[in-house]
Amino acid sequence: MRERILAVNKLQVSFNTYAGEVQAVRDVTFDLYKGETLAIVGESGCGKSVTAKSLMRLNPEPPAVIKGGEIIFENRDITNLKEKEMQRIRGSQISMIFQDPMTSLNPTMTVGRQITEGLKKHQKLTEVEAQKVAIQMLKLVQIPNAESRFKEYPHQFSGGMRQRVMIAMALVCNPKILIADEPTTALDVTIQAQILELMKELQNKIDTSIILITHDLGVVAHIAERIVVMYGGKVVEKGRSEDIFYRSKHPYTWGLLKSVPRLDIKRNAGRLSSIEGTPPDLLAPPPGCPFADRCQYAMKICRIEMPPMFEIYQLHGAACWINHPQAPTKVKEEV
């Protein structure tokens, strides 16, 4: 078993709004191992991005507040670190890339300067040393003519190239964890594939662990070793990629899988299916399973009591009552 680098235990994050407390992340638990890629998957509003940002304390506090649980990074509890200590971790130990590089890159500074800033701050390099490392990094992310492009501004790069610059910035200080929040959503399909391939390649070279946040299970198929599925602020299923793709034990995951385009399966009228209904209101989450209103297998217990995470096999678990040993056989057979 690989060394565990991050443990998130029963994390609870809420947003205090005028309408009341939005319970965005509810008892989220997962581990991340050294050198692995873990995907956190779910619809918009399921809590995946709030969870990821909480690891770096990037949710604005207030209105966000960590109400409970712990985030253990390299055996150290970083849940309530002071902002100054968090700044030492951000960028150098844990870094993040976002969906739209244009909002994360500074349009008034050359990309070279933006990369060297982190090196000078975290690694105390001189300007000349930092420039050398930054140009090497631009080459590593396959930006052609790295020496001259180093002096250019973000608007002079295409969308895919800007995302490569973001990856260079995020990896230049050799972070132990890279969090990628929907890194390819704004890109077209071919560029998406190139960026994912690049991340995989760099992961092997730099030996970093990756947390990939996405709403698209198709994106994670080739890159993630393990997958955490979130719904209504909760983890509803987790397991190795093959568990999730071939042996899933949760109706919500089945819905997500049916919405992934597959060339090997002929679907009705060539259409992808979507999950009917809407996610629960996290201002007043239901006492039972958050998926009950949209689930065709819902039983009486589902609306009354939250299903625990049933262990299916080793790292595979699913929070769904149909996995209870005494669940009606009929439901199991239909599944």
Please check whether residue 209 is in contact with residue 225, taking contact to mean a CB–CB distance below 8 angstroms: no
**Smallest separation, CB 306 to ligand SF4 (Å):** 9
User: Closest distance between ligand SF4 and the C-beta of residue 289, in Å?
Assistant: 3
CA distance 30 to 177: 14
Q: Which of 137, 195, 298, 312 binds ligand SF4 (CB under 6 A)?
A: 298
- Structure tokens belonging to residue 285: 């989450």
Q: Which is nearer to ligand SF4, 98 or 297 (CB)?
A: 297
Pick 239 or 251: Cβ nearer ligand SF4: 251
Distance CA 164, CA 157 (A): 10
Can you read off the two tokens belonging to residue 81?
Answer: 């670190």
Examine residue 310 and tell whether it contacts ligand SF4 (CB under 6 A).
no
Give SS3 for 6.
strand
Closest contact distance (angstroms) between CB of 287 and ligand SF4 is 12
291 binds ligand SF4 (CB under 6 A): yes
Task: Give yes or no for residue 322 binding ligand SF4 (CB under 6 A).
Answer: yes
The smaller minimum CB distance to ligand SF4, of residues 73 and 291, is found at 291
Tell me if 44 sits within 8 A of 304, measured CB to CB.
Answer: no
Q: Which of 167, 169, 289, 312 binds ligand SF4 (CB under 6 A)?
A: 289
Range in contact with ligand SF4 (rule: CB under 6 A) among 22-30, 134-142, 271-279, 316-324: 316-324
User: Encoding tokens for residue 11?
Assistant: 């994390």
- For the bound state, the minimum distance from the C-beta of residue 286 to ligand SF4, rounded and expressed in Å, comes to 10
Q: Report CA-CA distances (Å) from 75 to 31, 55, 96, 100, 201.
A: 12, 14, 21, 32, 27
Contacts for 112 with CB less than 8 Å, ≥ 6 apart: 131, 134, 135, 150, 151
Which residue, 149 or 238, has its beta carbon nearer to ligand SF4?
Answer: 238
Asked if residue 180 binds ligand SF4 (CB under 6 A), the reply is no
For residues 158 and 164, give the distance between their C-alpha atoms in angstroms, rounded to a whole number: 10
Q: How far is the CB of 305 from ligand SF4 (least distance, A)?
A: 9
What do you get for the CA distance between the two ends of the chain, in Å?
32
For the bound state, the minimum distance from the C-beta of residue 315 to ligand SF4, rounded and expressed in Å, comes to 20
Residue 213: Cβ-neighbour burial (10 angstroms; 0-12, 13-18, 19+):
buried
Q: Which is nearer to ligand SF4, 68 or 285 (CB)?
A: 285
Per CB under 6 A, does 297 bind ligand SF4? yes
- CA atoms of 257 and 250, how far apart (whole Å): 11
Tell me, by CB under 6 A, how many residues bind ligand SF4: 13
Provide the residue count of the chain.
335
Name the minimum Å distance from CB 23 to ligand SF4. Answer: 18
Interface with ligand SF4 (CB under 6 A): 251, 289, 291-292, 295, 297-299, 302, 307, 320-322
